Structure 1
Amino acid sequence: MIAELRRRAYLSAMQVATWLPRVALPFAAPSRLELLDAAPAVLLEDTPAPSEVPAAQAAPAAEARPKIEVPRPGSTQRQAVQPEAEPSAAADAPPAKAEVVPPPRFSLQLLRAGNCLLLVELPTGEAFQSRDPAYLLLKDLLRAAGLPDSPQLIGEPVRWPLLSRGNMDQGPDAARDFVQGFVAARQEEQGECACLWLVGQPAIRFAGEADSEAVNLELQVEGLGAAWALPGLEQLMDEPQRKAELWQAMRRIMRRWKNTE
């Protein structure tokens, strides 16, 4: 009877309510058949009878119970909400910095030849000298166009950027506004202008608001009137084949200043 009580204590500790031994157990009470029909049997491996287990090993086994994890209320909900609470990688990323566009750099000289104004890129950044190759080429162009070959300088060269330091905006838009304002003011002072020559890419871009493909073309610039885009003097010296295209364009446009003389 003592062995039977101890066996039931073991089974209760393991939370086994119904069991069926594979062999006859010594000192075991007879099985109740009504329990075997109501629930499936749990088969036990051949184990020594509790009376054969040493007392030193039986005591810890009786005390050991299987650990059952019981979910706490709300734990599942917290796990589901946690990923949404974590900030995304895009939110943690620092804001993208606006790209800083360096100010353009150029030097332009405004001149007058007959009834035309010329806004010419200075190849060296310095004012024209009488023996400069670029200036001699400009005189040749004026003679070919039927204009005086000794153009009159109007004001000092326009150099951009205006300031080497400071917080003033000196980007492309500011350069365009400044150059167009400068030329418009000089046009009012000089009186009638049949055509504005834009010689070189900086003059075409910031006075004529056109790109590099506008070379040898007539332009109509708001506030400045009719204009003609020419390659730069240095480019004409480096690429002499461009002079033929320039001459053909000049023959078409020459009527602008010839008809007003």
Structure 2
Amino acid sequence: MITETRRRAYLDAMQVAVWLPRTELPFAAPSRLELLKPPVEAAPLQPDAAVPVASERAVEPTPARPEKPQLRVVVPEPKQPEAVAAPQAPEERPKAIEPPPRFALQLLRAGSVLLLVELPTGESFQSRDPGYILLKDLLRAARLPDSPQQVGDGEPIRWPLLHGGSLDQGAEAARDYVQGVLAAELETMGCDCIWLVGLPALRFAGEVGAEACCRELAIDGLGRALAIPGLETLMEQPATKAELWQAMRRSLPRWHRSS
């Protein structure tokens, strides 16, 4: 009989890994029953199978990816409509003070006609003044006395009344004054018609302009009037005389009542 050590050596030489004696051998080591179990073959690894990670191996944390900055879209809030300020009334600028008008008018009477005549030079008529001579011609053509009489003290109506001071001497005041003088004369002695000769007479007695020349007017509180261009205008524009003559013929019945 050989010893256990030599027996194993023989078996190794014959490449016998597992053997089991049929009978118990003297002086042999007890048989190991786990060697009698058939070997368990390991399952082949699938190519897609995940490789198990040993439980005792520490799992390294995956480094976090840097976050991309997120763009924040800011939607502007709708603007509230601003309150529209009420249009302010334009500041009233102080009216420019106009200088007072300047004129001189002569008040005359010829028969039943009252004449308010502009004095071109500002002084009373003289017998040899060209304007006065033309006025006499107009009176003769109208079948009126050609020597008109001065009314009152004969002083012309001048404006402005005062030079300086606080008295209102504007255009409205001048109109009221001139119409007041005529109204006072009409109360004293009436007339059939008033001749307004020249632009100042038209403006401040008849409240009309040069466009009203050569026609009749109806003036509140004063009655009917005939608008006549200024004496200087008639001398400088002879054609105006013909137009005036036509107007005088239409108004002739007012002061000449003979058939």
Shared fold, TM over 0.5: yes
Larger radius of gyration: 2
Which of 209, 212, 225 aligns to 1:211? It is 209
Q: What TM-score do you get using the length of structure 1 for normalisation?
A: 0.65
1:215 positional shift:
0.1
Matches within 5 A, 1:28-47: 33=62, 35-36=64-65, 39-40=67-68
1:145 aligned partner: 142
Structure 1 residues without counterparts, runs of 5 or longer? 1-30, 42-83, 85-89
Q: Determine the structure 2 residue equivalent to 1:128.
A: 125
Structure 2 counterpart of 1:163: 162
Give the C-alpha shift of residue 94 in structure 1: 8.5
Distance 1:220 1:260 in 2: 23
- Percent of residue pairs identical: 60
2:125 is matched by which residue type in structure 1? F
Aligned match of 2:95: 98
* TM-aligned CA distance change 1:34 to 1:241, over 3 Å: same
1:95 Cα offset (Å) = 6.4
Partner of residue 110, structure 1:
107
Size of the alignment, in residue pairs? 184
Residue identity matched to 1:207: A
Residues 148-207 of structure 1 show CA distances to partners (whole Å, capped at 9, x for unaligned) of 000000131001111110121111111111100011001111x23000000001001110
Match of 2:199 among 201, 206, 212: 201
Residues of 1 paired with 2:187 and 2:164: CA distance? 32
CA deviations on 1:45-78 (whole Å, 9 max, x unpaired) are xxxxxxxxxxxxxxxxxxxxxxxxxxxxxxxxxx
CA contact (8 A) 1:194 1:260 kept: no
Question: Is the 1:107–1:159 Cα contact (8 Å) retained in structure 2?
Answer: yes
Which whole-Å CA distance do the structure 1 matches of 2:199 and 2:239 have between them? 18
- Alignment RMSD (CA, Å): 2.7
CA distance in 2, matches of 1:260, 1:180: 30
More helix by share: 1
Q: Which 4+ runs in 1 deviate beyond 2 A?
A: 31-35, 93-97
Q: Displacement, 1:239?
A: 1.0
Q: TM-score when scaled to structure 2? A: 0.65
Counterpart of 1:22 in structure 2 is none
**What SS does the corresponding residue of 2:105 show, helix, strand or coil?**
strand
Deviation at residue 125 of structure 1 after TM alignment: 0.4
Letter in 2 for 1:163: L
For 1:32 and 1:118, locate their aligned partners in 2 and report how far apart those are by CA, in whole Å: 125
CA contact (8 A) 1:113 1:149 kept: yes
